[in-house]
Amino acid sequence: MIQIDNKLVSLDLFEKKFVCNLFACKGACCVHGDAGAPLAADERAILDNEYNNFKEMLSESGRKAVEKEGKWVSDGPTDFVTPLNKGKECAYTVFQNGIAKCGIELAWKKGMTTFQKPVSCHLYPIRLSKIGDHIALNYHEWDICTPALILGESLDMPVFKFLKEPIIRAFGESFYKELEVVNDALQQRML
């Protein structure tokens, strides 16, 4: 782990190569798993306030799941996630040409909402966790992402570089620049 301010960054973010390959995985991360996308407190409020702006982008069954379960649900005493559609995909998932996509993000791209999508989705395969006063950024390995590892390796794209935009969204540009400095130092050490 590398510490930058109050963040503990796994070396996997520099060493693993990763580029999402939606044509191969079909957006499986929106479909598989035992819970919806993790949500921060401010994201729950945004879902409450902006749902009407993007609900028409969702599938009928996704809207019904949200109406039944709520815009977000509890996943333990302190964790909150997006609801699931019939216990399967995230209720905010829509399918286009057989590929799972985020209905919220599609609405955001059309200017219908100010909310891009949950930052946990945007950052994936980085998973955040709290360790005391620190935020840990860890690489989450999941077999459904094997095509992303293969594509990332072929393009020589480290996880943190692939996720530049969401990292800046979550932590700011100066933090991303610190990651670049660390990466440069790690590369020099390997020469």
Query: Alpha-carbon distance 63 to 55, whole Å?
Result: 7
Structure confidence by residue, pLDDT tens digits, 13-60: 999 999 999 899 998 888 887 888 999 889 999 999 999 999 999 999
Q: pTM of the predicted model, to two decimals?
A: 0.89
CA-to-CA distance for 122 and 54, rounded, in angstroms? 18
- Counting every residue written for the chain, the total comes to 191
Q: What are phi and psi of 70, to 5 degrees?
A: 115, 165
pLDDT tens string 176-187: 999 999 999 988
CA distances from 106 to 44, 101, 112, 149, 187 (A): 19, 8, 9, 25, 37
